[in-house]
Amino acid sequence: MPKTQYLQRMLIGLGLALALAVPWASATNYYVVASSQQPSPTPPWTNWGWAHTNLSEVVAAARDTDVVYVTNNVTYWLANQITVSYAMTVRSWGPGGIYDPTNTILSGRYPAATNRHFTLNNFGATLAGFTLTKGCENSGGSIYLQNGLVTNCIIVSNVTYTNGGGGVYMTTGSGGVWNCKINCNTTSNVLGATTNKTGNGGGIYSANSGGPWWIANCTIAGNSTGYGAEGGGIDSRGTAIISNCWIVSNLASYSAGAIRMAAGSTCYNSLLMGNTAEGYPGAGLGGALRMVGNNSLIRNCLVVHNRAAINGGGIKGDWSLKIQNCTIASNVAATGNGGGLDYSQNGGSPAIENTIIWGNRGSGTYSNYYIAIGTNTFTNCCTSPNIVVNSYVSDVVNTITNDPLFMNTATNDFRLQADSPCINAGVNREWMEGAQDYYGNRRIDTFRKTVDIGAYEYLCPGTLFIGH
């Protein structure tokens, strides 16, 4: 998925901050190979001929600006977690020196052992290019991220049993996860409890004590929470910036199949598809999203084919959320209202604009949306039935009730056809200058100068290029 200019600026700024945070020093390269490849490791392990076979000991010896290279085509069995306390890089080494996460595997050995893979607690620490699997710990089954960056990793089949973050637990500092696959992790209580909450954030949990945390260009799929927990893919209690991600087929036992978003959290240019809020015990709210904090924001996102056991098949909203230029379609509230959007709890002043809410299903009268609390505003949206000012809706501008005319919902193509009433029907905002739509095209194109409604901008036939 294309990177937004916002994301590019963010990463450049992060890289500059890392460079300024670490004093210049002459870096040392360290090397790690499999025990079968090295009969006699020789300190200080600074070339392949002297390479060590114990990753933990090498990381303990490295300092700021050092790099630890780990050869590929090996599964390394970890006896305990590895703590990275310096501004070093720990990375895989594949053919030609590239990252090789598929063939460089670090196993935490669960269920034979219960330890995670890494704790990162330096803002300049980088972990890159590994498959991290079979980790198990009470906070973060694979990674406990206090500060630092995890990039180009596959974080798969890890377990946490108390505090959340089946794959990654983000806590007091800041940093991020970039270009990773975070799949099939869980917060199920593997140590036996079945009646208490067993941790939120099947894939990632970010605590409210740290941040900002960046989650960018990631695939987050097939993760799940245990009994009574939230955020099948991500649970963001602190300030998280989620961008250019595919968050698909995650399961929350209680609510928020894809993401639970707290105050100040944002989600940009992302796909939320096929997620489920199961409703065990008793809730089932927000098949894709549960937005529970003031000023939580979702923008340029595609929210489709999600399911909630009760209300809010696409989004369950609380407090003063913001939804901008999104397409919310083909979601289901199985036994309640608001197949697309439910806003009926913990009222605030939410603002929804330039958004399509169409083709969703609920068991009650209100299939696309259900509004029963707060002082909501709708600006240039496309939905049905028509939104009217009442005791819960304070302002409505330019609602379109005609079919938005998606390209082909059967093939999940939610772009707009040429005769869609949503083309050039939005309201321009300052944030759109230089921004991209969900697909990576210019949010306001050079020719028509007016934004479209929904996650996609329509491209005229014969367009030769798109300016970025």
CB 228 within 8 A of CB 255: no
Alpha-carbon distances, residue 241 vs 10, 64, 153, 405 (angstroms): 10, 27, 19, 31
DSSP 18: H
HSE on the CB side for 436, CA within 13 Å?
A: 20
**Collapsed DSSP state (helix, strand, coil) of residue 55:** helix
Alpha-carbon distances, residue 175 vs 21, 35, 127, 146, 207 (angstroms): 13, 33, 12, 8, 13
Q: What does pLDDT average to over the chain?
A: 90
Does residue 419 carry a pLDDT above 50? yes
CB 217 within 8 A of CB 6: no
- E strand or H helix that includes residue 144: strand 143-151
Does residue 225 carry a pLDDT above 90? yes
CB 128 within 8 A of CB 153: yes
Q: Encode pLDDT of 199-210 as tens digits.
A: 899 999 999 888
Q: Encode pLDDT of 255-285 as tens digits.
A: 999 999 998 899 999 999 999 999 877 788 9
- Phi/psi of residue 329, each to 5°? -145, 150
Alpha-carbon distances, residue 184 vs 179, 332, 437, 452 (angstroms): 17, 23, 29, 36
- E strand or H helix that includes residue 201: none
Q: Is 179 left (phi over 0), alpha (psi -120 to 50) or beta?
A: left
Sign of torsion, CA 72 75 77 80?
positive
The CB density around residue 65, as the number of other CB atoms within 10 Å, is 17
Q: Encode pLDDT of 317-371 as tens digits.
A: 988 999 999 999 999 999 999 999 999 988 899 999 999 999 999 987 789 999 9
Nearest-CA neighbor of 289 among 356, 238, 338, 227? 338
For residue 26, the model assigns a pLDDT of 77
Length of the chain, please? 468
* Banded model confidence at residue 211, pLDDT cuts 50, 70, 90: confident
Does residue 456 carry a pLDDT above 50? yes
Q: Taking residues 236-252, report their average pLDDT.
A: 95
Q: What is the pTM of this model?
A: 0.92
* Alpha helices (H) in 129-198, listed in sequence order: none
Q: Taking residues 148-164, report their average pLDDT.
A: 94
